[in-house]
Structure 1
Amino acid sequence: MRRFLTLMFFVAVNLKAVAVMAGVPNFDIKSLRLSWEVIDNNYQNKQEALTGLTITNTGKETLPAGGWKIYFNSSRNFIADAVSGNAKVLQVNGDLYSITPNDKFKEIKPGESIRIDYLCEAPVVNFTDAIEGPYFVWDAEPAKGYLPGDFTVKPFNPNYQGLITPEILYNQNKIIQDIPASQLQKIIPTPVSYSENAGTFVITNAVSLISDPLFAKEKAYFITGIEKLLGSKLKGTSKDKKIIFKKDASLGAEAYTLNVTPNDMTITASTPAGLFYGIQSFKTSISASPWMKAQASIPVPCVSVKDEPRFPYRAVMLDVARNFQSKQQVLKLINLMAVYKMNTLHMHLTDDEGWRIEIPSLPELTAVGSKRGHTLDSKAFLPASHGSGPDFDNKAGTGFYTKADYIEILKYATERHVTVLPEIETPGHARASIKAMDVRYNHLLAAGDKAGAERNLLRDLNDKSDYRSVQYWNDNVIDVALPSTYNYIETVVGDLVNMYKEAGAPLPAIHFGGDEVPAHVWEQSPAYLALKASNPAIQNTGDLWYYFYGRVNDILKKRGITLSGWEEMALRKTAVDGQATYVPNPQFLGEKMQVDVWNNVLGDGQEDLAYKLANGGYKTVLTCVTNLYFDMANYKSWDEPGYYWGAFLGIDKFFSFIPYDYFKNADVDKNGRPINRNLFLGKQRLTDYGKTNIIGLQGALWAETVKSPERMDYMIFPKLIGLAERAWAKDPAWATERDTLKARELYNADWSKFLNILGKRELPRLAYYNGGYSFRIPKPGVIVEDGKYKSNIQFPGMTIRYTTNGKEPNENSPVYENPIPANGIVKFRAFDAKGRGGNVAEVQNKEAPAM
């Protein structure tokens, strides 16, 4: 043993010596602490941000002045030469950047710090604008990345135009009336017809359950759920108390009735889906108590409900490609979607930064495309993106659903009447698949199988086209002129079909992306030039668009599957008076394609695009960035996460959305500034024919800034309930009222009711339901009035607590009940039913003496 230990010691010493001799310094990167900060958010009176990255050496060795690089991720553009003069910041590809010290950079001795100051080409708005996931790479060991010991983002107190302050929040909240819980509607989304009657129906484990055989699965689902709430098995011995599930063939496909009397609860429907939605209405009608702790008896309010959805397509789009979410988190989302009667989960499974579903016939897609780490060539895995760092152990960066995982998701969703729409991004946003098929090509070619190597290749190896995508990638577009591209699509579709069949799940459509293909792509592709020479219909690269989606559509049609895609799929580029423009593509009008339209950014010129496509005959899903993007920041504030390029988007934007006239409630532009309504002059309005083509609404969570289940919950909930209200409930009176003042009064009344329902009924349940959801808890509003701080909250019923000692309020801090003296710094914070706190509102009355 002693001889073995001695041998191992010499091996370790020799390996260390080899590393040092190879040029890798004897320095532990873990001893470095990095911090990022905003130094000047209006540098030299320009719309630029001077930011700094400070490197602090906490170790015992000196960090050399050179021989290393720092890599990091960012969605922003940078000026290359550091203002500090000691480094250069360069884009590698996509959102990956490098910082290289120059000859002015000095070594960092133990205990010392050096800052690199550099410019962002736009001001910083919130903390998600910070750089992400910095790591070091030695020049002498270019294939290995090392994480520093710590990386922090320093707090910043911005003063930019449009900053949302506690005072602004207070004034926004002032219009919200506090409505007694007893007066609140018990079911949400709002039913078509709803009335309450005196009394309750009390459910115990003795209650009898009588069901039409058509609803056998829903009966089993109901029993499992009610037994959990009761804390005991259902005996069904009562002859007086009954729950009845009854078939009524006269009702619509997703319609139901719910009638509760003191002696029975009856749900009628023509289909299992309708019956299921009746069960969900029952669940939202009872109090939150059984979810907090099992109850031996559960009172159900006596209600009479007739209900059916406004739109047949009610969807959530979840991006798991940019940052991965676990199977369990997807199931949690499906569960709550079902509660609020959403029926489609659009899973964005692939993108430049990740491929997240096992395709057994092409194992490289996950072997390569599901892993992110330090690489500059992507020959074995993908590079770090969105802060995933140099190693595979980052759960947001690396991961995928096995075939078994995906089948489990499909079965779970089908049981809850949720259809899972898979999205396979093509031809842009496809870097993960392109690099994976490159690896397959090289492997098979080395094995002597040239034909096999070329069968699924997604790029022309001799293509010299120079392009850059919106997300800065220069190699992320599939070559649609290659025959192998269609072999690849056939293979992927075949494996997806097999999974859905095995799961017993419906597959009415597959989404093939289609958005954001950059200019100049394919121009120098030999495959394109050869196709152009042999096919008279191909006159330029623009024509490849129709060629590609025509062929993809043919692949799907023979399997009885509808082609779905983003709006660009349905557009044809043309010109008006010499100016490039897009019109609905007549070539695909008879093909029943489904298009998701996101682009209605106010002020960017495409505000009416969804209405153009619907008026032009396309089945259109409104996925409007102005109102339905979960990933947009709630408002302009340092502590609110999310992007904001399309809009600042709180729950009010979801609730106030008018599908057939979204111009009407548009009040601010993407920067939060009041809009000039002349913006809508000349824009297409939705025709009555166009209305028949609006098949539904979709909320979208793009996941660049979503790196944990908690952040996913924060961004989606409770906004999803606002989405469900607009997708299910009939058009509210304020949406069609022509008198502006009266419309505002009607809206304010409905808005107050909705927020009271959330604060007093829905969110207390969601704090515990299905293990609990980390929904967003709003920051309190605060003003100074008559020498006192007054506070309020967006969701009446939540508890506000405060501190006067400079500490963050917690669940034991004093409860705010009445105005308190405006002395010094006071912090206010709202808490949910479980004691979880939201963002802190910090205020200081500078005119008052400090305490």
Structure 2
Amino acid sequence: MIRFLFPALLLVSTFLQAQLTAPSLKISWEIIENNHQGKTASLTAFTLTNTGKKPLPKSGWTMYFNFVRKVDTTLSNEVKIKHINGDLFQLLPAAAFQGLKAGASMQVSFISEAWVVNFTDAPAGLYWVWDQQPDKGFALTDYTLKPSTQPRQYQRFAGDNSGLITPAVTYVQNKAIEDIPANELPKILPSPQHYRETGASFSITPQTTVFAPAELKEEAAFLTAQLTSMMGVPMASTTLQSGAGVTFQLDSSLLKEAYRLTVNGKGVVIAASERAGAFYAVQSLLALLPPSSWGKTQASLSVPGVDVSDQPRFGHRAIMLDVARNFHSKKQLLKLLDLMGFYKLNVLHLHFSDDEGWRLEIPALPELTQVGAARGHSAVPLKHLPPAYGSGPDISGEAGSGYYSRLEFIEILRYAAARHIKVIPEIEAPGHARAAVKAMEARYTAKLTEGLKAEAEKYLLHDPADRSVYRSVQMYNDNVINVAMPSAYRFLETVTDAILGMYREAGAPLETIHYGGDEVPAGVWSKSPAVEKLRQQNPELKTTDDLWYYFYGKINDMVQKRGLFLYGWEEIAMRKTMLDGKSHIIPNPDFVGQDMQVDVWNNVLGWGAEDLAYRLANAGYKVVLSCVTHLYFDMAYHKSFDEPGYYWGAYTDVDKPFSFIPYDYFKNSKEDRLGNPLDRSIFNGKERLTDYGKQNIVGIQGLVWSETVNSPGRMEYMLLPKLMGMAERAWAPSPAWAETNDEKAYQKAWSIFANQLGKRELPRLDAFAGGFAYRLPNAGAIVEGDRVKANVQLPGLTIRYTTDGSEPTANSVVYSQPLPVSKNLKMKVFGVNGRAGKTVEVNP
């Protein structure tokens, strides 16, 4: 009997396995309305259509999805939506659900907090789990988003006057931009302090020699490698200074990072007092070459004659890249470092840890990457992190999972150092730390199972007896390090020392580590026995707010003992107090004078903290301007359903970072966070930056948070061309229009910059460092009488069109003059390499 039973069981098992696949479902999502019932809420809906031949069962399954809005109510008695943690939700059948017949559809409407506008607000990463196989998730790939077209779908609240971007709006925005001939444009970006073209060009050939003193030989080698790749054959080298060729000179009279560059018929002379200045001179020399010099080989390279004297305005010129929310590979980081070096940016702030990921190998704590660097579905708690930001059920997903090994990080550090870029790692603490908290909880659980209680508790980041209730901005209830735990400081010391070891091995500079401090929610630590014990030992710790100062006091002591200074988000420099019986924030006097540096992001126009950066600088803190209004590159370019990115702080097009005035950003702020004309009364009573405060503005930072940035192409789209405007403001002298607030002078400068981008910088980036998928702007178009007029934000790019309703291609007709009005007119902007932006329809 047994020999007959076994094949029967095998057949049943095989049958069940055959059934456990993704169901045949077509799913769509749409916005029904914002401002639902007159509240700050949105009503949206899934539509599920059974495209299979069998009915969807009435029970035994769950659909999971990520959604950045908290779902409050499900308007259905057949299914229910439950919040798990963070942005992860599950949709489950309710008792009333009787299944979904083949070919049938059902709509699941639900109400969520806040509003939703573009496609990156939508639920993402949908997957299916059968109760019979709870550890397996099946990705649901037949999923579409229905664009919003009606005001009730995209107006966020009653009185929201900011509509979707239209070709006509774009046309008006572009109207003042002049088309300037390419030969009249400055050829170096960011703009040098002094730049003069002389007309005496020099031709570089493979026979051109490059001479440098020993102190600058690495910069000479860098230049030689670049020129060799363009000409396809090795260049000549020499140990003797000759009259013609490229000559590097040491000049001790020049400041750090300053340089002089002279090109004439006799050759090229680069002068600097140290390596960084010589490196920036090399970048300026390369910038003088025609944009087509990259991506092909040529027999010679013609360099226009110039006299350039230059030095940076700010010493800290940074890009912050978030690799925690979505991972970005080592290859992409090296490509970013090449881009930063070319535009003379010198700091990469690497946000490698957050709630959704820990991305750096720490050999002493392998759980950090075993658990904290992998995201995917699992029925086993603490096996790895759950899906987030649409990363899906599979842990092999490149955006959700991944980390830099110790050796890879050392390679990144060396690559950055060769381009004079400091890499500042960020250990996010005490909030935004769920990846670390859960990794150390997994370690704790495993060691306890082995009977190693002391070892289990050694690096524990949470108090197991803590019953505090809180919810972070990103909807987590377990993402904060307990600052009363001695093991938390042991953990941070261990990670810090491991990082210091990597920098030593790489031979890379390290002056500071960023220790976070952002967005710790109310309610944390309030019911923690460990906190109560600490208070009994330290009577001065009267409230949970006091624990904040206690924590950063200890961190400050730790980093100073290691020869570093403390760096963090703005909150580490702030103290809560009371004013007229209400909560009030002031610069914390305890840390002033201790060389503490802060990134200040919150200048959201209308939120009340518009002057925070200036208040902290005036109080004595070193401030890096990281203002969301102008410098958050993950903000959407404008309001449109198909435009990716967040928009809670502002819409940020290319002009925003270019127009930023570091010492008085009130002056040139023109629209509020919703895109409406700004009510300037919000600046009444706000603190201006003093001359003393100006000394404490150490730099500017462009930021790329990665919640919506899940691929190399998306990263480059959000970064470029915004990065160039930020580089201009960080390096170039303060322009005259910023000092006088002269609108005409600004428009002239903006026209020059827009032409530089369209005619020189973007064409170069088609091939530079392998090529970049920068954003191409939408065509502007307006109907005037019986004609359609069109324009483009960045002159030099090409508008092509069709009149038969088909999609414009690289072979479509080029727009050159006003066109007759047509029902089926479509336009699209193309770069010189044939890559295109989005199609716009011009309706009569």
TM superposition score normalised by structure 2:
0.96
Unaligned runs of 5+ in 1: 846-851
1:849 counterpart residue number: none
Q: Are residue 306 (structure 1) and residue 299 (structure 2) matched?
A: no
Residue number in structure 1 paired with 2:54: 61
Query: Counterparts of 1:617-766 in structure 2 under 5 Å?
Result: 617-737=620-740, 743-766=742-765
1:27/1:62 contact within 8 Å kept: no
Task: Give 1:848's aligned residue.
Answer: none
Shift of 1:104: 3.7
SS, match of residue 647 in structure 1: coil
Give the equivalent residue in structure 2 for 1:15: 13
Q: Does 1:492 align with 2:484?
A: no
1:139-178 Cα deviation digits (max 9, x unpaired): 3433332212422222332433312211010011010000
**C-alpha displacement at 1:390, in angstroms?**
1.1
Tell whether the 8 Å contact from 1:178 to 1:752 is kept in structure 2 after alignment: yes
Separation in structure 1 between the aligned mates of residue 710 and residue 320 of structure 2, nearest angstrom? 16
1:134 aligns with 2:132: no
Q: Following TM superposition, by how much is the alpha carbon of 1:791 offset from its aligned partner in structure 2, in angstroms?
A: 1.0
**Does the C-alpha gap of structure 1 residues 27 and 140 become closer, same or farther in structure 2, counting only changes over 3 Å?**
closer
- 2:377–2:395: 8 Å Cα contact kept in structure 1? no
Structure 1 residues 727 and 790: CA distance shift in structure 2, 3 A? same
Give me the whole-angstrom Cα distance separating, in 1, the residues matched to 2:642 and 2:300: 43
Q: CA deviation at 1:811?
A: 1.2
SS at match of 1:66: coil
Following TM superposition, the consecutive aligned residue runs of length 4 or more in structure 1 with deviations greater than 6 angstroms are 6-11
Task: Look up the match of 2:343.
Answer: 340
Amino acid in structure 1 at the alignment position of 2:827: F
2: distance between equivalents of 1:290 and 1:750? Answer: 26
**CA offset at residue 493 of structure 1?**
0.5
Matched, 1:94 2:86: yes
The residue that corresponds to 1:194 in the other structure is 195
8 Å contact kept, 1:789–1:822? yes
Counterpart contact for 1:177–1:752, Cα < 8 Å: yes
Shift of 1:567: 0.3
Segment of structure 1 superposing worse, 564-573 or 785-794: 785-794
The alpha carbon displacement at 1:575 in A equals 1.0
Deviation at 1:259, TM superposition (A): 0.5
| Counterpart AA for 2:274 | T
- Contact 1:205/1:236, CA 8 A, preserved across alignment: no
Pick from 570, 574, 589: which aligns with 1:571?
574
Task: Give 1:37-52 correspondences, 5 Å limit.
Answer: 37-41=30-34, 43=36, 48-52=41-45
Q: Distance in 1 between matches of 2:419 and 2:439?
A: 34
Structure 1 window deviating more from structure 2 (104-113 vs 336-345): it is: 104-113
Counting only pairs closer than 5 Å after superposition, residues 214-293 of structure 1 correspond to structure 2 as 214-236=215-237, 241-293=244-296
CA contact (8 A) 1:158 1:638 kept: no
- CA RMSD in angstroms, aligned pairs only: 1.9
Identical aligned residues as a percent:
52
The C-alpha deviation readout for 1:358-402, integer Å capped at 9, x for no partner, is 011100000000011114674110111000111112110011111
2:158 alignment partner in structure 1: none
Which residue is equivalent to 1:32? 25
Partner of 2:538: 535
In the alignment, what sits opposite 2:97? 105
SS in 1 for 2:397: coil
Q: CA deviation at 1:288?
A: 1.1
Contact 1:378–1:435 (8 Å) recurs in 2: no
Kindly state the Cα deviation for residue 8 of structure 1 after the two structures are TM-superposed.
11
| Letter paired with 1:146 | F
Whether 2:833 is the aligned partner of 1:834: answer yes
Instruction: Report the CA distance between 1:665 and its aligned residue.
Output: 0.7
Moved more, 586-595 or 247-256: 586-595
Q: Which aligned pairs between 1:770-849 and structure 2 lie closer than 5 A?
A: 770-845=769-844
The equivalent position to 1:525 in structure 2, one of 528, 534, 546, is 528
In structure 1, what is the Cα distance between the partners aligned to 2:36 and 2:582?
36
1:206-221 matches, within 5 Å, as: 206-221=207-222
Q: Does 1:470 align with 2:470?
A: no
Code of the aligned partner of 2:411:
E
Distance 1:479 1:177, change over 3 A: same
CA separation in 1, counterparts of 2:41 and 2:431?
Answer: 30
1:69 positional shift: 1.8
More divergent stretch after superposition (266-275 vs 822-831)? 822-831
Residue 121 of structure 1 corresponds to 113
Structure 1 partner of 2:587: 584
| Alignment of 1:176 onto 2:169 | no
Report the AA paired with residue 191 of structure 2: T
User: For the residues of structure 2 that align with 1:294 and 1:386, how far apart are their CA atoms?
Assistant: 42
**Distance of 1:236 and 1:662 partners within structure 2:** 48
**Separation in 2 of the partners of 1:258 and 1:250?**
15
Q: Secondary structure at the match of 2:814?
A: coil
Matching residue's letter, 1:330: L
Query: Secondary structure of the residue that 1:49 maps to in structure 2?
Result: strand
C-alpha separation in 2, matches of 1:633 and 1:593: 32
Q: Residue in 1 aligned with 2:505? A: 502
The 8 Å contact of residues 526 and 544 in structure 2, kept in 1 or not, is answered as yes
Amino acid at match of 2:127: Y
Matched, 1:416 2:419: yes
Q: Which amino acid aligns with 1:54?
A: T
- Verify: 1:155 aligned to 2:147, yes or no: yes
After superposition, the C-alpha distances for 1:726-767 in whole angstroms (9 at most, x for unaligned) are: 000011111111xx5xx1001000000000000001000001
Q: CA 1:257/1:405 → structure 2, altered by over 3 Å: closer, same or farther?
A: same
Q: Give a deviation string over 1:414-463, Cα, whole Å, max 9, x none.
A: 00000000001000000000000011111112222211111100011000
Q: What is the distance in 1 between the residues matched to 2:132 and 2:5?
A: 27
In structure 2, distance between residues paired with 1:726 and 1:311: 9
Counterpart in 2 of 1:80? Answer: 73
Aligned residues: 831
Change (3 A) 1:311 1:11: farther
Inter-CA distance 11–541: structure 2 relative to 1 (3 Å threshold): same
Give the match's secondary structure for 1:177: coil
Q: Deviations over 1:268-299 (max 9, x none)?
A: 00010000000011111111121132111100
- SS of 1:654 mapped into structure 2: helix
2:788 is matched by which residue type in structure 1?
Answer: Y
Alpha-carbon shift at residue 40 of structure 1 (Å): 3.6
DSSP 3-state at the match of 1:345: strand
Bigger drift between 547-556 and 627-636 goes to 547-556
Contact 1:27 1:61 in 2 (8 A): no
**Aligned AA for 2:67?**
S
Alpha-carbon shift at residue 594 of structure 1 (Å): 0.7
2:5 and 2:743 map into 1 onto residues whose CA distance is: 82
- Structure 2 counterpart SS, 1:359: coil
**Alpha-carbon distance in structure 2 between the residues aligned to 1:645 and 1:40:** 18
Contact residue 23 and residue 56 of structure 2 kept, 8 A: no
Aligned residue for 2:627, secondary structure, equals coil
Displacement of 1:44:
5.3
For structure 2, which runs of at least 5 residues remain unmatched after alignment? Answer: 156-160
Comparing 800-809 with 363-372, greater Cα deviation is found at: 800-809
1:402 aligns with 2:395: no
After superposition, the C-alpha distances for 1:810-842 in whole angstroms (9 at most, x for unaligned) are 212211112221110211110112111111111
Helix, strand or coil at the partner of 1:370: coil
